[in-house]
Amino acid sequence: MKKEFIEPFFATLQAANPEPKTELEYTSVFELLSAVLLSAQATDVGVNKATRKLFPVANTPQQILDLGQAGLESYIQTIGLYRSKAKHLMQTCRILVDQYGGEVPRTREALETLPGVGRKTANVVLNVAFGEPTMAVDTHIFRVSNRTGLAPGKTPLAVELKLLKRIPEAYRVHAHHWLILLGRYVCKARSPQCAQCAVSAWCDQGSKTLAKAQQTRTKASK
Protein backbone atom coordinates (compact mmCIF):
# COMPACT_ATOMS: atom_id res chain seq x y z
CA MET A 1 0.00 0.00 0.00
CA LYS A 2 1.38 3.39 -1.00
CA LYS A 3 2.09 5.74 1.88
CA GLU A 4 -0.36 8.33 0.55
CA PHE A 5 -3.16 5.73 0.63
CA ILE A 6 -2.91 5.11 4.38
CA GLU A 7 -4.61 8.34 5.46
CA PRO A 8 -7.75 7.92 3.29
CA PHE A 9 -7.84 4.20 4.18
CA PHE A 10 -8.19 4.92 7.90
CA ALA A 11 -10.25 8.08 7.44
CA THR A 12 -12.83 5.96 5.63
CA LEU A 13 -12.85 3.32 8.37
CA GLN A 14 -13.20 6.04 10.99
CA ALA A 15 -16.08 7.72 9.18
CA ALA A 16 -17.97 4.42 9.04
CA ASN A 17 -17.32 3.55 12.70
CA PRO A 18 -16.02 6.50 14.77
CA GLU A 19 -15.95 4.67 18.12
CA PRO A 20 -15.24 0.97 17.47
CA LYS A 21 -15.54 -1.43 20.39
CA THR A 22 -14.41 -4.95 21.14
CA GLU A 23 -17.12 -7.57 20.65
CA LEU A 24 -16.13 -9.28 23.88
CA GLU A 25 -18.52 -8.42 26.71
CA TYR A 26 -17.02 -7.04 29.93
CA THR A 27 -17.69 -4.49 32.67
CA SER A 28 -14.27 -4.30 34.34
CA VAL A 29 -10.60 -4.60 33.44
CA PHE A 30 -10.44 -8.02 35.09
CA GLU A 31 -13.45 -9.24 33.12
CA LEU A 32 -11.77 -8.02 29.93
CA LEU A 33 -8.51 -9.77 30.80
CA SER A 34 -10.38 -12.99 31.56
CA ALA A 35 -12.43 -12.83 28.37
CA VAL A 36 -9.37 -12.19 26.19
CA LEU A 37 -7.49 -15.04 27.89
CA LEU A 38 -10.43 -17.35 27.18
CA SER A 39 -10.77 -16.18 23.59
CA ALA A 40 -7.57 -17.78 22.28
CA GLN A 41 -8.54 -20.10 19.41
CA ALA A 42 -12.21 -19.38 20.18
CA THR A 43 -14.81 -16.95 18.89
CA ASP A 44 -15.96 -13.87 20.76
CA VAL A 45 -19.52 -15.19 20.46
CA GLY A 46 -18.56 -18.43 22.18
CA VAL A 47 -16.66 -16.64 24.94
CA ASN A 48 -19.55 -14.25 25.57
CA LYS A 49 -21.98 -17.15 25.97
CA ALA A 50 -19.78 -18.62 28.69
CA THR A 51 -18.95 -15.39 30.50
CA ARG A 52 -22.60 -14.33 30.62
CA LYS A 53 -23.02 -17.21 33.06
CA LEU A 54 -19.62 -16.95 34.76
CA PHE A 55 -19.28 -13.24 35.49
CA PRO A 56 -22.55 -12.81 37.44
CA VAL A 57 -21.23 -15.51 39.80
CA ALA A 58 -17.51 -14.70 39.82
CA ASN A 59 -15.97 -11.60 38.27
CA THR A 60 -13.01 -10.83 40.55
CA PRO A 61 -9.76 -12.76 41.00
CA GLN A 62 -10.73 -13.89 44.50
CA GLN A 63 -14.20 -15.05 43.40
CA ILE A 64 -12.66 -17.09 40.57
CA LEU A 65 -10.25 -18.67 43.06
CA ASP A 66 -13.16 -19.46 45.37
CA LEU A 67 -14.85 -21.39 42.54
CA GLY A 68 -11.90 -23.75 42.30
CA GLN A 69 -10.64 -25.08 38.98
CA ALA A 70 -13.42 -27.67 38.62
CA GLY A 71 -16.03 -25.02 39.34
CA LEU A 72 -14.49 -22.65 36.80
CA GLU A 73 -14.33 -25.40 34.19
CA SER A 74 -18.05 -26.04 34.58
CA TYR A 75 -18.75 -22.50 33.34
CA ILE A 76 -16.31 -22.44 30.43
CA GLN A 77 -16.44 -26.05 29.17
CA THR A 78 -18.11 -24.94 25.92
CA ILE A 79 -14.91 -23.05 25.00
CA GLY A 80 -12.08 -24.84 23.24
CA LEU A 81 -9.08 -25.82 25.39
CA TYR A 82 -11.14 -24.97 28.47
CA ARG A 83 -9.11 -27.08 30.88
CA SER A 84 -5.80 -25.39 30.12
CA LYS A 85 -7.50 -22.00 30.03
CA ALA A 86 -9.09 -22.64 33.42
CA LYS A 87 -5.69 -23.58 34.82
CA HIS A 88 -4.08 -20.44 33.43
CA LEU A 89 -6.89 -18.19 34.65
CA MET A 90 -6.69 -19.70 38.15
CA GLN A 91 -2.91 -19.16 38.22
CA THR A 92 -3.36 -15.61 36.97
CA CYS A 93 -5.94 -14.88 39.64
CA ARG A 94 -3.60 -16.15 42.35
CA ILE A 95 -0.85 -13.80 41.12
CA LEU A 96 -3.26 -10.86 40.90
CA VAL A 97 -4.43 -11.44 44.48
CA ASP A 98 -0.99 -12.08 45.95
CA GLN A 99 1.05 -9.49 44.05
CA TYR A 100 -1.32 -6.81 42.81
CA GLY A 101 -4.07 -6.57 45.43
CA GLY A 102 -6.57 -8.10 43.02
CA GLU A 103 -5.99 -5.39 40.40
CA VAL A 104 -4.85 -5.88 36.79
CA PRO A 105 -1.40 -4.34 36.21
CA ARG A 106 -1.06 -1.60 33.61
CA THR A 107 2.29 -2.45 32.02
CA ARG A 108 3.03 -4.88 29.20
CA GLU A 109 5.90 -6.39 31.16
CA ALA A 110 3.70 -7.23 34.16
CA LEU A 111 0.81 -8.47 32.04
CA GLU A 112 3.04 -10.84 30.07
CA THR A 113 4.19 -12.53 33.28
CA LEU A 114 0.63 -13.74 33.90
CA PRO A 115 -0.04 -17.37 32.86
CA GLY A 116 -1.90 -17.57 29.56
CA VAL A 117 -1.21 -13.91 28.75
CA GLY A 118 1.03 -13.35 25.76
CA ARG A 119 1.91 -10.24 23.82
CA LYS A 120 -1.39 -10.18 21.91
CA THR A 121 -3.53 -10.46 25.05
CA ALA A 122 -1.45 -7.82 26.82
CA ASN A 123 -1.88 -5.50 23.84
CA VAL A 124 -5.65 -5.96 23.87
CA VAL A 125 -5.87 -5.08 27.57
CA LEU A 126 -3.57 -2.08 27.20
CA ASN A 127 -5.58 -0.81 24.23
CA VAL A 128 -9.16 -1.56 25.24
CA ALA A 129 -8.95 -1.01 29.00
CA PHE A 130 -6.31 1.70 29.20
CA GLY A 131 -6.56 3.43 25.81
CA GLU A 132 -2.96 2.85 24.78
CA PRO A 133 -2.19 2.80 21.03
CA THR A 134 -1.09 -0.83 20.95
CA MET A 135 -1.68 -3.26 18.11
CA ALA A 136 -2.83 -6.79 19.00
CA VAL A 137 -2.18 -8.80 15.85
CA ASP A 138 -4.62 -11.70 15.59
CA THR A 139 -5.35 -13.79 12.49
CA HIS A 140 -7.67 -11.10 11.09
CA ILE A 141 -5.20 -8.25 11.45
CA PHE A 142 -2.35 -10.41 10.15
CA ARG A 143 -4.38 -11.29 7.04
CA VAL A 144 -5.65 -7.76 6.40
CA SER A 145 -2.21 -6.21 6.90
CA ASN A 146 -0.64 -8.56 4.36
CA ARG A 147 -3.49 -8.61 1.87
CA THR A 148 -3.95 -4.85 1.71
CA GLY A 149 -0.23 -4.17 1.68
CA LEU A 150 -0.64 -1.93 4.73
CA ALA A 151 1.97 -3.79 6.79
CA PRO A 152 3.15 -7.01 5.16
CA GLY A 153 5.16 -9.33 7.38
CA LYS A 154 5.88 -12.99 7.99
CA THR A 155 5.21 -12.96 11.74
CA PRO A 156 2.65 -11.23 13.99
CA LEU A 157 5.42 -9.24 15.66
CA ALA A 158 6.79 -8.03 12.32
CA VAL A 159 3.29 -6.94 11.29
CA GLU A 160 2.67 -5.26 14.65
CA LEU A 161 5.86 -3.20 14.50
CA LYS A 162 5.22 -2.19 10.90
CA LEU A 163 1.63 -1.17 11.68
CA LEU A 164 2.78 1.03 14.55
CA LYS A 165 5.24 2.70 12.20
CA ARG A 166 2.85 3.22 9.27
CA ILE A 167 -0.48 4.10 10.91
CA PRO A 168 -0.86 7.85 11.52
CA GLU A 169 -0.93 8.72 15.23
CA ALA A 170 -4.48 10.06 15.05
CA TYR A 171 -5.79 6.60 14.14
CA ARG A 172 -3.63 4.31 16.29
CA VAL A 173 -5.90 3.92 19.31
CA HIS A 174 -8.81 2.57 17.26
CA ALA A 175 -6.87 0.96 14.40
CA HIS A 176 -6.80 -2.42 16.15
CA HIS A 177 -10.60 -2.61 16.16
CA TRP A 178 -11.08 -1.27 12.65
CA LEU A 179 -8.72 -3.86 11.18
CA ILE A 180 -10.23 -6.75 13.17
CA LEU A 181 -13.76 -5.84 12.10
CA LEU A 182 -12.65 -5.41 8.50
CA GLY A 183 -11.07 -8.86 8.52
CA ARG A 184 -13.92 -10.51 10.37
CA TYR A 185 -16.80 -9.25 8.24
CA VAL A 186 -15.43 -8.03 4.88
CA CYS A 187 -11.85 -9.06 4.17
CA LYS A 188 -12.55 -12.69 4.99
CA ALA A 189 -9.97 -15.42 4.61
CA ARG A 190 -11.67 -17.47 1.90
CA SER A 191 -13.98 -15.00 0.25
CA PRO A 192 -12.90 -11.36 0.57
CA GLN A 193 -15.80 -9.10 -0.35
CA CYS A 194 -13.81 -6.57 -2.35
CA ALA A 195 -16.84 -5.29 -4.25
CA GLN A 196 -18.54 -4.33 -0.97
CA CYS A 197 -15.41 -3.07 0.77
CA ALA A 198 -15.30 0.66 1.51
CA VAL A 199 -11.50 0.74 1.44
CA SER A 200 -10.80 -1.50 -1.55
CA ALA A 201 -9.63 1.46 -3.64
CA TRP A 202 -6.53 1.79 -1.43
CA CYS A 203 -5.95 -1.94 -0.92
CA ASP A 204 -3.29 -3.74 -2.96
CA GLN A 205 -5.42 -6.79 -3.64
CA GLY A 206 -8.79 -5.04 -3.65
CA SER A 207 -7.81 -2.53 -6.33
CA LYS A 208 -6.48 -5.34 -8.53
CA THR A 209 -9.64 -7.41 -8.01
CA LEU A 210 -11.92 -4.51 -8.88
CA ALA A 211 -9.83 -3.59 -11.94
CA LYS A 212 -9.98 -7.19 -13.18
CA ALA A 213 -13.74 -7.28 -12.66
CA GLN A 214 -14.11 -4.04 -14.62
CA GLN A 215 -12.04 -5.46 -17.48
CA THR A 216 -14.25 -8.55 -17.55
CA ARG A 217 -17.40 -6.41 -17.69
CA THR A 218 -15.93 -4.27 -20.45
CA LYS A 219 -15.06 -7.30 -22.59
CA ALA A 220 -18.50 -8.78 -22.01
CA SER A 221 -20.22 -5.61 -23.18
CA LYS A 222 -18.36 -5.51 -26.49
CATH at 43: 1.10.340.30
Domains contained in the chain, number: 2
Query: Of 128, 146, 177, which closes a domain?
Result: 128
- Are residues 110 and 178 both part of a single domain? no
- Are residues 101 and 174 both part of a single domain? no
Chain segment 68-98, per-residue pLDDT in tens? 999 999 999 999 999 999 999 999 999 999 9
Burial environment of residue 182 by CB neighbours within 10 A (0 to 12, 13 to 18, 19 or more): buried
The pLDDT of residue 208: 75
Query: Of 81, 107, 128, which closes a domain?
Result: 128
- Are residues 80 and 8 both part of a single domain? no
Q: Are 130 and 110 in contact (CB under 8 A)?
A: no
pTM equals 0.89
- Are residues 39 and 118 both part of a single domain? yes
Tell me which residues are annotated as active site.
Answer: 120, 138
- Are residues 15 and 84 both part of a single domain? no
Residues 7-20, buried b or exposed e (16+ Cβ, 10 A)? eebbeebbeeeeeb
Query: Of 108, 128, 148, which closes a domain?
Result: 128
Q: Which domain holds residue 57?
A: 29-128
CATH at 193: 1.10.1670.10
The pLDDT of residue 218: 62
- Are residues 64 and 99 both part of a single domain? yes
Average pLDDT, the chain: 94
**Rounded to whole angstroms, how far apart are CA atoms 187 and 173?**
21
- Are residues 61 and 45 both part of a single domain? yes
- Are residues 122 and 70 both part of a single domain? yes
